[in-house]
């Protein structure tokens, strides 16, 4: 009986939110990030930015790992490892190419906006509001 109740509870659980999927304009440098499904998680790749429009061959020169400094910024995976918690995606990571560091992150969709919170550690966090392009 317990296994039947557990199976019913799992079946009734809401599916992970797809509200984060799509193209998003960042707050800085006219960046555009495409968020898509990556298995049970979501991930995001840098599509374009002011810098990439000026020089499509920009590299990840600020990466704290010197061996990664030659990789192109265009198409770079900057979001990943999130777990769905209802409408919020939590426990993921966000990479900031400006300083070459990776931070813990949370994604919270709100209509045509996405709250993207990155933290060195809580409470040292910064939240950006991204706007849906499509």
In a domain, 10, yes or no: no
The structure's pTM equals 0.85
CB 127 within 8 A of CB 28: no
Specify the pLDDT at position 122: 81
Whether 81 is covered by a domain: the verdict is yes
- Whether 5 has a pLDDT exceeding 50, the answer reads no
The 10s digit of each residue's pLDDT in 69-113 is 999 999 999 999 999 999 999 999 999 999 999 999 999 999 999
Higher pLDDT, 52 or 4: 52
CATH number, domain with residue 99: 2.40.128.520
Instruction: Establish if 96 belongs to a structural domain.
Output: yes
Measured distance CA(35)–CA(78) in Å, rounded: 10
> Is the pLDDT score of 127 beyond 90?
yes
Please report whether residue 68 resides in a domain: yes
Q: Quote the domain boundaries for residue 48.
A: 17-132
pLDDT at 6 over 50: no
Give me the number of domains the chain comprises.
Answer: 1
In a domain? residue 8:
no
């Amino acid at each position: 009986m317990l296994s039947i109740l557990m199976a019913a509870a799992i079946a009734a659980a809401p599916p992970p939110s797809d509200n984060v999927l799509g193209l998003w304009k960042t707050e800085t440098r006219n960046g555009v990030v495409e968020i898509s499904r990556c298995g049970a998680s979501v991930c995001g790749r840098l599509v374009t930015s002011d810098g990439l429009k000026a020089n499509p061959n920009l590299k990840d020169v600020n990466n704290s790992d010197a061996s990664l400094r030659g990789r192109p910024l265009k198409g770079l995976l900057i979001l990943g490892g999130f777990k769905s918690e209802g409408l919020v995606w939590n426990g993921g990571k966000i990479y900031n190419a400006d300083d070459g560091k990776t931070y813990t992150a949370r994604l919270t969709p709100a209509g045509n906006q996405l709250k993207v919170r990155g933290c060195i550690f809580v409470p040292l966090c910064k939240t950006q509001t991204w706007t849906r392009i499509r």
